[in-house]
Amino acid sequence: MHNATSLRREDGEAMPSAASNLQIIIRPASLDKLGQNYSVSFEGEIIIDKTRNPSADACRRLVAVGHSGGLEVWSISEPFPRLIIRNIETAAGLTIAENTAHGPRVAAYQPFNASALAV
């Protein structure tokens, strides 16, 4: 799915090989009033059935089961990665947030707190 040729930076240092990155495949799952939902596969197995934030949610799931390192996010419709994440542990602490006051932006991840909804 990728070219494993070792690239070099302008300063001559070798860049990490893409072959060392974990790889996920995202597929459109459904469309609802909030937007597109995706399913996420890793090593041929669906690890997330439905999410609007597939990259960050996949990072959290992979870190939770002991993975670390880089991640390539692939789509079934493109011959190249949609996104390359250098460190899934760092990315697991981030999410995309948006509301009526601002558009999409990167923000610190806050786990859902169901007890906050209890009356």
Q: What is the mean pLDDT of residues 73-101?
A: 92
- CA atoms in the 13 A half-sphere facing the CB of 35: 7
CA dist 103 and 37 (Å) reads 18
Which range, of 2-11, 14-23, 50-59, 66-75, averages the lowest pLDDT? Answer: 2-11
In this structure, are residues 19 and 7 in contact, taking their beta carbons and an 8 Å threshold? no
With bands split at pLDDT 50, 70 and 90, how would you rate the model's confidence at 12? Answer: low
pLDDT at 2 over 50: no
pLDDT of 37 above 90: yes
Cβ neighbourhood burial of 64 (10 Å; 0-12, 13-18, 19+) = exposed
For residues 19 and 6, the answer to whether their CB atoms sit within 8 Å is no
Confidence label for 42 from pLDDT (cuts 50, 70 and 90): very high
Residue 4 scores a pLDDT above 60: no
